[in-house]
A and B are shown apart, each in its own frame.
Chain A
Amino acid sequence: QVQVVESGGGVVQPGRSLRLSCAASGFTFSSYGMHWVRQAPGKGLEWVAVIWYGGSNKYYADSVKGRFTISRDNSKNTLYLQMNSLRVEDTAVYYCARDLREAGSTIDYWGQGTLVTVSS
């Protein structure tokens, strides 16, 4: 069965960096786009970034552009989110999610999320 499992969350000070990972299994990882979506405490869902199946196309929310980088290693079935210059407002549960297709579509499967807390 399709499974995506996030890791790497934790507490980090403002201005520091953190890298999230998402291990995928149960499907041909290299054939699907992958997304990151976040949810601040008590708030709604916010789409963060997407990477197409081959890794060559990446798109970001305005709120993270220039600070976050999405990447993937298809040989390891793993998705990443490198988060730099973190701000208090980046505090959220970060979800890894599979695209319905190889590129440019919406989400079909979600992970359980990993909590990132940015605080001094």
Chain B
Amino acid sequence: NAGVTQTPKFRVLKTGQSMTLLCAQDMNHEYMYWYRQDPGMGLRLIHYSVGEGTTAKGEVPDGYNVSRLKKQNFLLGLESAAPSQTSVYFCASSYWLATGYEQYFGPGTRLTVT
């Protein structure tokens, strides 16, 4: 199993450009998440999905959109990139268990907006 994979690994954008980050998981997980991590800080939840065709806002959703057309994929879009969106983006997936949910994280995408 590949687990959680993210594409691309690195990207540099100019202010105002758009891009889509792709997250894929092969564990048949219902739940998927997008986080951002700024230098020296913890992870903050951007958007999440509890199943195919569903999405919901997390802690810091402004400036981002997401889609979950297939169960195994979760896309994060930036319509008009801003320097404040320079960060490392992590995708995660999980089952929902009675004891909470063990999240599996991807390796991250390092995005720089100039």
A and B: partners? Answer: no
Residues of A in contact with B (beta carbons under 8 Å apart): none
Residues of B in contact with A (beta carbons under 8 Å apart): none
